[in-house]
Amino acid sequence: MKATGIVRRIDDLGRVVIPKEIRRTLHIKESDPLEIFTDRDGAVIFKKYSPMGELGDFAGQICHALNKTTGQLVAICDRDAIVTAAGNGHRTIAEKPISKELELTLNARTLYSAPIDAPGIAPIGNDSDYQVEIAAPILSEGDILGGVLFLGQSGQKATTDVEKKLAQTVALFLGKHMEN
């Protein structure tokens, strides 16, 4: 645990204000859910909650199956980071924060397919050798939980309509799974 030097008092309703600097640094926005943990030493830990994070192993198996079927680098992300990935290059993107451009693309709530004559968007920022070829948003009860991504190396277009349909199907399945 890292000390910040910031001290806050609990008000009469049991509330604690998380300082703006910390919220900004950790990308915590108003109405974001936080998970609360405690330990034996009396520490209370707030962690940004990700429903997709609970599907880690399950999502990993889906990514692995999609990779084996298509030969593509496949990833599943939540609204903040890549949750899991499978395929050649998966270690370079797994558990990294998603790019602002990918976040905006998922927020559009429609299937994204990279244009043939232009590069796709960066999945994790400018330091990646990969680009998003296909992004299918995962929607559950009207909320965006994340996305199913097919990635390719910059300058190589290898996705087809089959990958688009697979991404949409898996995104629909995960969204329905989260509703239950």
Q: State if pTM tops 0.85.
A: no
State how far the Cα of 30 lies from the Cα of 119, in Å rounded to an integer: 33
Using CA atoms, how far apart are residues 95 and 77, in angstroms rounded to an integer?
Answer: 9
The torsion defined by the Cα of 6, 7, 11 and 17, in degrees rounded to 10, comes to 10
pLDDT digits (tens, 9 = 90+) for 12-68: 999 989 889 888 877 788 877 888 888 888 888 888 777 666 677 888 899 999 999
Contact 151, 118 (CB under 8 A): no
For 78, list phi and psi in degrees, rounded to 5: -100, -160
Average pLDDT over residues 93-102: 90
Average pLDDT over residues 79-97: 89
pLDDT digits (tens, 9 = 90+) for 154-176: 666 667 889 999 999 999 999 99
Arithmetic mean of pLDDT over the chain: 86
More confident residue, 32 or 99: 99
Instruction: Summarize pLDDT for 103-151 with one digit per residue, the tens.
Output: 999 999 999 998 877 777 899 976 678 899 999 999 988 888 899 999 9
